[in-house]
């Protein structure tokens, strides 16, 4: 299976023509398209509607998770309904199997990496913050536990490792993702992990257990090749 993956489109109607031209090429390059969050800029249904027109016209089966921008206006449930109605498989702590390849996904959350992971100690506000990070890791755990395929792809918005965040300002590393996600991935194993969010990070790295992780934020892809709007993987 060839998978075209991208993230952080931050779609606004003014981008419609350019993105349509870019994604029209996907069907010649891949069997499946994966969108790793931040599909809209402000989470407005008015942004999602023309984006869905672009995605549907690409005529490629599409799998997606939402990102933090898609939650900005509190319309995430409506956005997911719109996507599902358009035929997109939306992963939110859920799994999907297609042609022998399993996809598990969720948005993920932040909280830091390695020894810098924030723990639930101190003020109640800190405990609520950490619980949100744990809840997203548990959603990924449930999704991965559902897969029965030998080939596994994880789709998340936030990074599970620090390596693909390198290039962002050190001050915002804890807000780029959390290694709690990597712990789940390593318990279950994955052939491919894709995420976005870190616009200025690095393109690839590995979890402590050796699972390949790729940052497919479109800004990062285009910094390497201006005409690129997705990266293709063979699974």
Model confidence over 30-70: pLDDT tens digits? 999 999 999 999 999 999 999 999 999 889 999 999 999 99
Q: What is the pLDDT of residue 19?
A: 85
Domain count for the chain: 1
Q: Per-residue b/e over 84-93, b at no fewer than 16 CB within 10 Å?
A: eebebbbbbb
Q: Does the pLDDT of residue 14 top 90, yes or no?
A: no
Do 114 and 163 contact (CB within 8 A), yes or no?
Answer: no
Cβ contacts of residue 125 below 8 Å, gap of 6+?
Answer: none
pLDDT value at residue 108: 98
pLDDT at residue 128 greater than cutoff 90: yes
| Band (12; pLDDT cuts 50, 70, 90) | confident
What range does the domain containing 150 cover? Answer: 2-234
Tell whether the model's pLDDT for residue 191 goes beyond 90.
Answer: yes
CATH code: domain of residue 40: 3.60.21.10
What separation in angstroms does the CA of 178 have from each of 111, 161, 201? 5, 7, 15
**For the whole model, what pTM was predicted?**
0.97
In this structure, the number of other CB atoms found within 10 A of the CB of residue 120 comes to 13
Q: How confident is the model at residue 229 (pLDDT cuts 50, 70, 90)?
A: very high
Q: Could you give the percent of the chain with pLDDT greater than 70?
A: 100
Q: Kind and range of the H or E element at 90?
A: strand 89-90
Distance CA(53)–CA(79), nearest Å, equals: 14
Q: What is the pLDDT of residues 15-24, one digit of tens each?
A: 788 888 888 8
């Amino acid at each position: 299976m060839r998978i075209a993956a991208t993230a952080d489109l931050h779609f606004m109607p003014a981008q419609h023509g350019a993105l349509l031209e870019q994604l029209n090429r996907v069907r010649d390059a891949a069997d499946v398209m994966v969108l790793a969050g931040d599909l809209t800029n402000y989470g407005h249904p008015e942004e999602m509607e023309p984006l869905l027109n672009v995605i549907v016209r690409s005529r490629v089966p599409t799998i997606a998770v939402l990102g933090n921008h898609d939650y900005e206006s509190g319309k995430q449930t409506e956005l997911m309904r719109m996507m599902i109605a358009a035929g997109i498989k939306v992963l939110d702590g859920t799994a999907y199997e297609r042609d022998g390849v399993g996809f598990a996904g969720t948005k993920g959350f932040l909280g830091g990496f390695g020894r810098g992971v924030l723990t639930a100690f101190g003020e109640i506000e800190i405990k609520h913050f950490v619980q949100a990070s744990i809840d997203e890791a548990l959603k990924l755990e449930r999704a991965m536990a559902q897969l029965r395929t030998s080939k596994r792809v994880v789709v998340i918005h936030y990074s599970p490792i620090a390596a693909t965040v390198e290039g962002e300002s050190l001050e915002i590393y804890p807000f780029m993702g959390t290694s709690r996600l990597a712990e789940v991935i390593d318990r279950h194993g994955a052939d491919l992990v894709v995420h976005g969010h870190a616009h200025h990070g690095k393109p690839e790295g590995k979890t402590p257990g050796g699972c390949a992780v790729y940052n497919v934020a479109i800004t990062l892809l285009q910094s390497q090749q201006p005409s690129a709007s997705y990266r293709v993987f063979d699974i």
